Chains A and B, each alone.
Chain A
């Protein structure tokens, strides 16, 4: 304390002496002598030294002035120098444009080409459009892919110049083939430090598998491009779109300019025309035993409409829900193949569904053929009845109709390989958005349902329901029998891996995010697939590294729902290792995700392909683990997850340990955080 006091006193004395010096200087300034004039132009430090010397010689110390004290204590007001700030940067308006279309999440790893936009999202937008931190651009786009499939609407991603766009390319391709809308913004900074990050035509890198791209030159165009991009992305066929934003227009000042974000106008979706609507409704009502195959629709609203139409008609319904989202509930009483032996006399197919996108192989529409299951009427082939009249094609003269998003009937959406339609177009083929076509069909059906027809519908619905209970009871028994195989074996069978989850999730609102193609298909057999987001389906183009990041998107949708929805992802090991940083994103953003590792320690399908190849060449299969195994050393996924900040258990090879581990992990998930259980599994 003594030392402190001493220091304090010394400081006071210093201030007094400084004040004396200043006073002496001031006196000198007002003295009109030649000496004084000289002193006024001399360095003040000399005068200060002289004053100090006099003060030190015993002159009384004056108190500091209020200005001096203010300066000394930090209360001084700095001189009024205009700050070099941008008050209303262009990127603020870009954020406003993103808000205008309803974007709620943007995911990216940082890049200097969009620093202006990122700053605006966080500060101008107050992070209302929540910035989700990615560790890889591919993860960001794949997350947006999963989000769109869970929500039926796009989120946004930011990509850093040429390098970010190329990192993202595989995920963009998956989303394109899967017909999933994503709004992507690429930064382009001509002033940036690395010229190689720039391109004259940024969109060219991924133009082969994006639906639309733009590189606006002005801020006004940029705002319009964001709204236009969103419109195009959500208009069938839905797909990713890209807008390239230069750093220049992100950072330009807009104060004093009459520029604003116009209200967003949602696009008019292409619906079946009036004539086609009437013909389909008439055929449905006149059919003795109609069937409606529901593929993947655009949004949850479309699923509700499909249910309404099916119930209105008491029709049997096919579902693509075990292939992907936005299809007919698997537990609905009308879902099934109807009464055995009673032929279907009219089939309406709504879009295609499931894996492969593009309407190619295995449209995912179950049951009778999606297209042309009966002889066509003359002139019925075509697009939405174009070139035909109601009189030339009598109602009921065709036995099937399909409504497919524009572009899918003929072009397969620019994806090569298998054709665009499932089978020949023998029925009435309508190029339109099925979801938007349903309201018209429903209204028309209602107008045609007489009292007699309604009695027939009620009778048909009752018979279908009874038949479907029988069918689904058999399905359920078969699913459980499949889950029983190798029940007590070690490593853990895939059937048991799934079945042990059942008691924990049977009463939960669950989204199954990962593809079931490599996990034995148990998830879509054993768990409820009754909501538009119950199962999100496959990668689209089969690009690995999709499941884990798509789960992030599903997790965002679940967290946003705020009703306790959880995400369960049966995660293959090969897929996770493409970009495992998504585990950190799950932990950082507190996403309610249970990840269960299907850890068979290899790229198992590829191993089997290699074995067959070696057999054909009679060279032996004993070295086919080379290049297909993830052994030596084994990867510890629990430790990996823990390193990223997530609760995790495992590896577990004894099936008896599963229930406990799942319970503990699920407890975390229900509290709103991710958890992982690493399970060593049978290969298949």
Chain B
């Protein structure tokens, strides 16, 4: 379970005005693991709150790097934080996730590819569909 190794490589030195170097997906993977994005989105963006949609494309939040960064900075810009426990998307300010790391995180997420074959290529699920489960006719 190498994926589950806890990493602590996040730099906190960057400022909003610092020059942003090209995004490095490998660095982004470290961010994805260290910030435990997998907790909600799975290790490949396919489970839980999915980043990959059923057709293999990314959710609209992930269309552009700038849109992605804006979203994680303020997932609910017009709402006060709920007082009760919630499983909503956390917000990531500059202090916790500088722009450079946000860009690298975006680059890593964009490397995700679906692992799920088409339904017709999964014999077990095909059989389940055929047999009808709890659908009694």
Do the beta carbons of A682 and B36 come within 8 Å of each other?
Answer: no
Contacts of A503 in B (CB 8 A): 124, 127
* A85 adjacent to chain B (CB < 8 Å): no
Q: Are A489 and B47 in contact (CB under 8 A)?
A: yes
Known: A472-B135, A473-B135. A487 touches B115 (CB 8 A): yes
**8 A Cβ contacts from A642-661 to B:** 653
Among B10, B128, B137, the residue within 8 A (CB) of A622 is: B10
B64 interface contact, C-beta 8 A = no
Cα A600 to Cα B57 with chains together (Å): 26
Give Cα A500 to B125, complex, Å.
Answer: 9
A476 touches B10 (CB 8 A): no
Residues of B close to A333: CB separation below 8 A: 136
| Other-chain contact of A528, B48, B49, B89, B134 (Cβ < 8 Å) | B134
Closest to B134 in A: A331
Residue B35 interfacial (CB < 8 Å): yes
Chain B residues within 8 Å of A495, by CB: 47
Smallest beta-carbon distance A619→chain B, Å = 6
Residue interface mask A529-560, B partner, CB < 8 A = 1:
11000000000000000000000000000000
CB contacts under 8 Å to B, within A596-610, are 601, 604-605, 607-609
Segment of A175-183, A413-421, A478-486 in the binding face: A478-486
- A484 touching B86 by the CB < 8 A rule? no
Does A618 lie within 8 Å of B50, measured CB to CB?
no
B134 contacts A529, CB within 8 Å?
yes
Q: What residues of chain B lie closer than 8 Å to A609, measured between beta carbons?
A: 85-87
Asked if B116 is an interface residue, CB under 8 A from chain A, the answer is: yes
B68 at the interface (CB under 8 A from A): no
Bound CA–CA A632/B1 (angstroms): 11
Given contacts A481-B54, A484-B119, A491-B43, contact A618 B95 (CB under 8 A): yes
State how many residues of chain B have any CB contact under 8 Å with chain A: 51
Which residue of B42, B88, B97, B125 is within 8 Å of A486 (Cβ)?
B42
Closest B residue to A477 by CB, please name it: B129
- Mask: chain A, 440-470; 1 = CB below 8 Å from B; 0 = not: 0000000000000000000000000000010
Q: Are A476 and B90 in contact (CB under 8 A)?
A: no
B 85-123 to A, binary, CB cutoff 8 A, 1 in contact else 0: 111111111011100000000000000000111010010
> How far, in angstroms, from A500 to B122 measured CA to CA in the complex?
11
Contacts of B40 in A (CB 8 A): 608, 611, 683-684
* A609→B136 CA distance, assembly (Å): 40
Q: Complex formed: what's the CA distance from A488 to B54 in Å? A: 14
A217 / chain B contacts, CB cutoff of 8 Å: none
Tell me the smallest distance from the CB of B85 to a CB of chain A, in Å.
Answer: 5
A42 close to B (CB within 8 Å): no
- Interface 1/0s, chain B 48-74, versus A by CB < 8 A? 111000100000000000000000000
Contacts of B92 in A (CB 8 A): 615, 620-621
Cβ–Cβ < 8 Å partners of B93 in chain A = 618
- Structural contact, A631 and B6, CB atoms closer than 8 A: yes
B134 and A485 within 8 A (CB): no
- Contacting residues, chain A, for B125 (C-beta < 8 A): 480, 483-484, 487, 499
- Beta-carbon contact of A480 and B115 below 8 Å: no
In the bound complex, CA of A607 to CA of B48 (Å): 14
Tell me if A214 is interfacial: C-beta within 8 Å of chain B. Answer: no
Bound together, the chains give a CA A528 to CA B132 distance in angstroms of 11
Check if A212 is an interface residue, CB within 8 A of chain B. Answer: no
Tell me, yes or no, whether A616 is within 8 Å of chain B by CB: yes
A494 in the interface, Cβ–Cβ < 8 Å? yes
**CB of A206 within 8 Å of the partner chain:** no
Q: Mark A191-227, 1 if CB is under 8 A from B, else 0.
A: 0000000000000000000000000000000000000
Contacts of A244 in B (CB 8 A): none
Whether B34 is near chain A, meaning CB under 8 Å from some CB there, is yes
- The CA of A481 and the CA of B55, in the complex, are separated in Å by 12
Complex: how many Å from CA A682 to CA B43?
A: 7
Cβ B117 vs Cβ A488 within 8 A: yes
Neighbour of B46 across the interface among A330, A489, A629, CB < 8 A: A489
**A476 engages B95 (CB within 8 Å):** no
Quick one: given A484-B122, A611-B39, are A616 and B81 in contact (CB under 8 Å)?
A: yes
CA distance A607 to B90 in the complex (A): 12
**In the assembled complex, A625 has its CB within 8 A of some CB on chain B:** yes
Q: In the assembled complex, how far is the CB of residue B13 from the closest CB belonging to chain A, in whole angstroms?
A: 14
* A664 in contact (CB, < 8 A): no
How distant is the Cα of A625 from the Cα of B39 in the complex, in angstroms? Answer: 10
- Are A607 and B116 in contact, with the CB atoms below 8 A? no
Determine whether the beta carbon of A624 is less than 8 Å from that of B54: no
- Contact at A330–B134, with CB atoms within 8 Å? yes
Residues of A within 8 A of B78 (CB): none
In the assembled complex, how far is the CB of residue B96 from the closest CB belonging to chain A, in whole angstroms? Answer: 3
Complex contacts, B81 vs chain A, CB 8 Å = 616
CA distance A601 to B6 in the complex (A): 12
Q: Tell me whether A578 is interfacial, beta carbon within 8 Å.
A: no
Given contacts A476-B135, A528-B134, A684 and B129 within 8 Å (CB-CB): no
Are A485 and B47 interface neighbours, CB within 8 A? yes
User: Which single residue of chain A is at the shortest CB-CB distance from B10?
Assistant: A622
Which chain B residues border A683 with CB–CB below 8 Å?
38-40, 42, 47-48
B105 to chain A, nearest CB (A): 12
Query: Is the beta-carbon distance between B36 and A624 smaller than 8 angstroms?
Result: yes
Q: Please name the residue on chain B nearest to A614 by beta carbon.
A: B90
Bound Cα distance A609, B128 (Å): 35
In the complex the two chains form, is A489's CB within 8 Å of B44's CB?
A: yes
Task: State the Cβ distance, A611 to closest chain B Cβ, in Å.
Answer: 5
- A-B residue pairs, 6 tightest by C-beta: A615-B90, A620-B96, A684-B48, A486-B46, A618-B93, A489-B115
Measured CB to CB, the residues of B under 8 A from A are: 1, 3-4, 6, 8, 10, 34-36, 38-40, 42-44, 46-50, 54, 81, 85-93, 95-97, 115-117, 119, 122, 124-125, 127-129, 131-137
10 A-B pairs, CB-CB below 8 angstroms? Answer: A330-B134, A487-B125, A489-B116, A499-B124, A499-B125, A526-B128, A612-B86, A615-B91, A682-B47, A683-B40
> Contact residues of A with B, CB < 8 Å?
330-333, 469, 472-473, 475-477, 479-481, 483-491, 493-495, 499-500, 502-503, 506, 526, 528-530, 601, 604-605, 607-609, 611-616, 618-622, 624-625, 629, 631-632, 634, 653, 680, 682-684
Q: Apart from A490-B43, A493-B42, what 11 extra A-B contacts exist at CB < 8 Å?
A: A476-B132, A484-B125, A486-B46, A601-B4, A609-B87, A612-B85, A620-B10, A621-B90, A625-B36, A631-B4, A683-B38
